Amino acid sequence: MTKYINLTTLSCGRQKPPQKLALCDTIFAPESEEVKVRYGVESISLLGLSIIIVILFVVLGIILVVTMKLQAKRAMKVLNKFEGRKVLDIQSCANFFGQESLGHTQVRGNGVLVVTEDEIYFEMWVPKREFRILVSSIQSIETPRSHLGKTKGHPLLKVIFQNEKGERDSMAWLVKDVYSCKERLEKIIKQNSR
């Protein structure tokens, strides 16, 4: 049976100066009965806990703002590569699920996905890599929930295309509005096939 006792009355009712014990230290009373001592738990007040929670939210807010600014900055840097070309869609934080021909062991990563009239361009942030798919090589667009054994439980934008070797290949991304992105790409493919 666990008892909570006052630290000043540990043995025979005599007063002892308080001892510093860690949270839930186990001590033994004179009758060899195991007693757990709660020390410091009551000193954490509701105000202290509230302050810690507020600080955590402020830190998370700062991290979110910095991340969003970094995404916007990277998107603008990529967009500058397409100066003078018509950009139809840009996803500043697309999550890349890999290229089929490179196998299952690829690292998933975030980056900027740009769709123009003649190509799909993706620049991954870490590790820094570039991928290009010519619109003329696209065979179809799908929205599966997984690619190369990886999933996040949401529909992905999967582009099936013919690679430089003339083989069937595919890439997939998690994007904000997968269905409108798919619709835009299908319109571009239809226009280019004329």
State the pLDDT at residue 16.
52
Tell the residue number behind the tokens 């619109």, with chain if given. 135
State the pLDDT at residue 158.
93
| Residue whose C-alpha is closest to residue 5's, from 118, 18, 181 | 18
In the chain, CATH 2.30.29.30 covers 74-192
State the pLDDT at residue 156.
93
Return the percent helix, strand and coil in the chain, to nearest 5: 30, 30, 40
State the pLDDT at residue 172.
93
**Predicted confidence (pLDDT) at residue 12 exceeds the cutoff of 70:** no
Whole-Å CA distances, 14 to 8, 66, 141, 157, 162: 8, 58, 81, 74, 87
Q: Which stretches within the chain are classed as H helix? A: 46-80, 178-192
Whole-Å CA distances, 66 to 61, 62, 71, 90, 176: 9, 6, 9, 20, 20
First CA to last CA distance, the chain: 83
The model's pTM? 0.63
* CATH classification for the domain delimited by 74-192, as one of 3.30.565.10, 2.40.40.20, 3.30.9.10, 2.30.29.30: 2.30.29.30
Peptide bond into 127 cis (omega under 30): yes
Residue 80, both tokens = 């500058």
> Each residue of 50-103: pLDDT tens digit?
888 899 999 998 888 887 777 777 777 777 787 888 888 888 889 999 899 888
Whole-Å CA distances, 135 to 88, 139, 183: 13, 9, 14
**Predicted confidence (pLDDT) at residue 37 exceeds the cutoff of 80:** no
> Quick check: 139 and 168 in contact, CB under 8 A?
yes
> Each residue of 140-191: pLDDT tens digit?
999 999 898 888 889 999 999 999 888 999 999 999 888 988 988 888 888 8
Whole-Å CA distances, 11 to 4, 8, 21, 39: 14, 9, 16, 17
> Each residue of 99-117: pLDDT tens digit?
998 888 887 888 989 988 8
> Quick check: 172 and 98 in contact, CB under 8 A?
yes
State the pLDDT at residue 125.
83
State the pLDDT at residue 157.
93
C-alpha 150/C-alpha 100 separation (Å) is 12
> 15 vs 148, which has greater pLDDT?
148
> Quick check: 37 and 24 in contact, CB under 8 A?
yes
> Quick check: 27 and 38 in contact, CB under 8 A?
no
